[in-house]
């Protein structure tokens, strides 16, 4: 069975996975990919394969249609977020799709906490200064006693909350779907955007849905406390980047850290690059040796099941 792999973390691990996949009768192929392949590229590639393990690539109606006209029998979305997958289209064409939920809670939370601490103490700015020959000493802020608004209280959000609480921060969580969690009773629950004006930090850790695209817009930003720091380890389209640029320029937002962007990789023309207090990631929050191995093993198991179930 020929398998197309377009998820960058799994592609990087392919030399270690290939032997195990072949032992299952799965022959992997990985084209060059930086973050995602285009719909046009996928329409050409996907029909040539029996299975597909994807990352954040556009798994659209056109792609599934092309896959069904070719050899495609099963698909697995590597990772947690599934906003890029048209499950209805997959069902229409009878293509089973699985994913790997419950992964990366600790890994993404570690990155989120590093960003929170980095923005509080301006460690990234110091690093840039020292590398450039300066010896900067910006005065930071203490985390203890500060309020963090946490958007998303699923597996990742709860892991972030535990780290924020360990830093003696107060946490307000926004998630209409999530229930209470033992051991996190001190987390206040609010309906978005209630009390957002009290937050010293805003941390985004929720799934992207049609309803929350640009949930951080000019209206919400205008309500926020001057000097707020924003961290996004979820999805880029949660933030209206044009509105955030205006808020950064005015000083309303002190600084921001992004593991994700509206367009990835971040375009060179992006105005976010103008602000030295912005910290940029490369959609890499889940990428540890252990987590990638675990998620990849699970993706292979799922795909093997799909292809076996659908084998003539």
Q: What is the mean pLDDT of residues 84-89?
A: 98
Per-residue pLDDT, 290: 95
Q: Which of 68, 162, 283, 298 is catalytic?
A: 283
Residue-wise DSSP of 201-266: EEEE-----TTTTT-B-HHHHHHSPTTEEEEE-S-GGGB-HHHHHHHHHHTSEEEEEES--SSSSP
- Crossing angle of helices 105-121/155-166, nearest 10°? 40
Q: Which residues pair with 232 in a beta bridge?
A: 204, 258
Percent of the chain with pLDDT over 90: 95
Q: Which residue has 């923005």 as its token pair?
A: 119
CA distances from 308 to 37, 70, 152, 301 (A): 27, 18, 36, 11
Q: Does residue 311 have an active-site annotation?
A: no
Q: Give, for 92, the enclosing helix (H) or strand (E).
A: helix 87-92
Task: Please name each of the domains of the chain with its CATH number.
Answer: 2-101+288-309 (3.40.50.720), 105-280 (3.40.50.720)
Q: Does residue 214 have an active-site annotation?
A: no
Q: Which of 264, 271, 277, 301 is catalytic?
A: 264
- Per residue in 224-276, pLDDT (tens digit) is 999 999 999 999 999 999 999 999 999 999 999 999 999 999 999 999 999 99
Q: Does residue 264 have an active-site annotation?
A: yes
CA distances from 174 to 205, 214, 239, 242 (A): 10, 15, 16, 23
- Alpha carbon 26 to chain centroid distance? 28
- Per residue in 36-55, pLDDT (tens digit) is 999 999 999 999 999 999 99
Per-residue pLDDT, 287: 94
6, 27 Cβ separation under 8 angstroms: no
Per-residue pLDDT, 309: 45
- Alpha carbon 186 to chain centroid distance? 26
How many angstroms separate the first and last alpha carbons of the chain?
A: 12
Q: Which of 99, 162, 235, 298 is catalytic?
A: 235
312 — pLDDT class (breaks 50, 70, 90)? very low
* Spatial separation of the C-alpha atoms in residues 215 and 223, rounded to whole Å: 13
- Per residue in 159-199, pLDDT (tens digit) is 999 999 999 999 999 999 888 788 899 999 999 999 999 99
């Amino acid at each position: 069975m020929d398998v197309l792999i377009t998820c960058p973390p799994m592609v990087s691990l392919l030399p270690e996975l290939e032997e195990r996949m072949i032992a299952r009768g799965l022959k992997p192929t990985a084209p060059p990919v930086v973050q995602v392949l285009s719909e046009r590229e996928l329409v050409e590639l996907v029909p040539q394969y029996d299975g597909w393990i994807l990352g954040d690539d556009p798994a659209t109606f056109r792609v599934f249609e092309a896959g069904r006209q070719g050899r495609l029998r099963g698909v697995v979305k590597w990772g947690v977020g599934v906003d890029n997958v048209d499950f209805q289209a997959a069902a229409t064409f009878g293509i089973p799709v699985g994913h790997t939920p419950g992964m990366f809670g600790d890994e993404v939370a570690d990155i989120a906490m590093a960003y929170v601490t980095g923005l509080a103490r301006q460690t990234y700015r110091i690093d840039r200064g020292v590398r450039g020959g300066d010896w900067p000493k910006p005065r930071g802020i203490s985390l203890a006693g500060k309020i963090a608004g946490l958007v998303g209280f699923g597996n990742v959000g709860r892991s972030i909350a535990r780290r924020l609480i360990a830093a003696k921060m107060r946490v307000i969580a926004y998630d209409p779907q999530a229930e209470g969690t033992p051991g996190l009773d001190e987390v206040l629950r609010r309906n978005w955007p209630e009390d957002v004006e009290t937050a010293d930090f805003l941390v985004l850790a929720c799934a992207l849905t049609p309803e929350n695209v640009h949930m951080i817009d000019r209206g919400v930003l205008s309500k926020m406390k001057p000097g707020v720091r924003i961290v996004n380890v979820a999805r880029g389209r949660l933030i209206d980047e044009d509105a955030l640029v205006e808020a950064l320029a005015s000083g309303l937002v002190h600084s921001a850290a992004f593991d994700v962007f509206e367009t990835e990789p971040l375009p060179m023309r992006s105005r976010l690059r103008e602000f030295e207090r912005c910290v940029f990631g490369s959609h890499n929050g889940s990428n540890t040796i252990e987590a990638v191995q675990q998620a990849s093993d699970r993706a292979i198991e799922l795909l093997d099941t799909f292809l076996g179930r659908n084998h003539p």
